[in-house]
Amino acid sequence: MRVFGVACRRRVRCVSAGDNASVAAHVAQTVGIKRWRASMRPEEKLAYVQQHDAAHAPPGEQQQGQQQRQGKQQQQRQASAHDGLIMVGDGINDAPALAAARVGVAVASTPSDMVAAAADILLLNGQGVSNLPWLLAVAHKTRKVTREVCAAGEVVVNAPHA
């Protein structure tokens, strides 16, 4: 089990691995995923991420996707609630796909691993992909609390002043 590309919207849809077919199939079966891809080269992983983004972007964002984007932060600011993609990788060959994904998750042994520089999230506890459900649960709770705080702030700002 070396490299994973995981398209998620509260559930895993596909394992995309750089490993051979038997390893990819075993990993997919182990985590209960029906679709898998094997022997993917770094450029194929990057193309997969870019094609997924293009296919799932709202109409206005599809036009923006055709233009050169200036960095991942700008892309995230333009992000909408459409089906995002989480790329999980553990090697430097995953860096381009990690950087291009809506969210890049690096599984690394140390924070200084080169793959960590391309990721948004770094998993260091040695449990790798098995942390993904926990990570998604925390992300969803954080998003909910953030929305509640923003809504409360808007009520306070728009409240009539006496």
Each residue's pLDDT tens digit, 78-116: 444 446 778 888 888 899 999 999 889 888 877 777 788
Using a pLDDT cut of 90, give the percent of the chain over it.
15
Classify the phi-psi angles of 140: left when phi > 0, otherwise alpha if psi is within -120 to 50, otherwise beta.
Answer: alpha
> What average pLDDT does the structure give for the chain?
75
> pTM, whole model, 2 decimals?
0.67
Confidence of residue 58 (pLDDT cuts 50, 70, 90): low
> What CATH class is the domain 4-128?
alpha beta
pLDDT of 59 over the 70 cut: no
What does the pLDDT read at residue 126? 77
Domain boundaries, the chain: 4-128
